[in-house]
Structure 1
Amino acid sequence: MNLPDRIYESITLLSEEGNALYDDSAFEGAISKWSQALNLLPTPQASWEAFTWLSASIGDAFFQLTQYPKSLENLKDALNGPDGLDNSFIHYRIGQCQLLLGFDEEAITSLLKAYMLDGDAVFKADPDGEVYLQKLKAQHLIDG
């Protein structure tokens, strides 16, 4: 099922504006644009592909702002959208948030899910990724 053209165009425009703001480290502005786009989705919102990437993007921006509870909330929402459970980045960011919030056991589970979905690629793409890989290695969950 496709979004109506008018809604699709509005979501695309807001998403692009949000991406540009994110790239300029204007994370609050990006969150605002992506939230506006999310609010345009017909109900049930979680049934649309855009729900997954908008929620994940909002969660990522909150992560950049070190607002980990809000990041975690939005990233967990993203899991409920199409292909959310199969997205290694979402699990990776969730694991990071959980670890930073002191939820160590849950963090290990989320980081392991990210690793199982995509190997070490998502970890290698992050300058801090080796820290999180070491958490899995220390638990003897992956080789290394």
Structure 2
Amino acid sequence: MSDLDDFLYEQVTELSQEGNVLFDDGDLDAAMAKFDAAWGLLPEPKNQWEAALWLLAAKGDVYFARQQYAEVVDAMMRAAMCPDGLGNPFIHLRLGQAYWELGDKSRAGNELTMAYMAAGADIFEDEDPKYLDYLKTILQPPVGQDTL
């Protein structure tokens, strides 16, 4: 698909960046409002645009911070259907965490494994250690290593 026109791309990017700053400051409602505003600017079908991936991932991250795990799954599954979404380590990380929190350990294990395979243990660095600890119960360490 062709890229968004420059003016629209700038608007979407600016709103997204503002949302990221608000998210980092802990203002989840204001961050979501910025991400929603940016989402609203995308022409239909929205999931064809590269920006849809990072906007859905950002919205999923807000849902994760709010502990709204079913909404995380919905946003991240939609993100996975966007260009470059499938195989994105962050998408798989958040999906795995959400499934873990929802009690679906099988899906959690699959998604956390994909995140680990794509990005290594570093992707878990700033996350609650329980997710990597769970992964260690289902995955063997790489050859030549004692741990994941």
Asked whether 1:137 is paired with 2:106, we answer: no
Q: CA deviation at 1:40?
A: 1.0
Q: CA deviation at 1:39?
A: 1.6
3-state secondary structure, aligned to 2:4: coil
Q: CA deviation at 1:63?
A: 0.4
| 2:6 aligned partner, one-letter code | D
RMSD: 1.2
3-state secondary structure, aligned to 2:7: helix
Partners of 2:140 and 2:79 in 1: how far apart?
26
Q: How does 1:1-144 map to 2 (within 5 A)?
A: 1-124=2-125, 126-128=126-128, 130-139=129-138, 141-143=139-141, 144=147
Q: TM-score, normalised by structure 1?
A: 0.92
Count of aligned residue pairs for this structure pair? 141
Q: CA deviation at 1:49?
A: 0.8
Regions of 4+ moved over 3 Å: none
Residue identity (%): 42
* Structure 1, gaps ≥5 residues long: none
Q: CA deviation at 1:6?
A: 2.5
* Structure 2, gaps ≥5 residues long: 142-146
Q: TM-score, normalised by structure 2?
A: 0.89
Distance 1:142 1:89, change over 3 A: farther
Indicate the structure with greater helix content.
1
State the Cα deviation string for residues 95-144 of structure 1 (Å, max 9, x = none).
000000111111000001111111112012x241x3222212212x2312
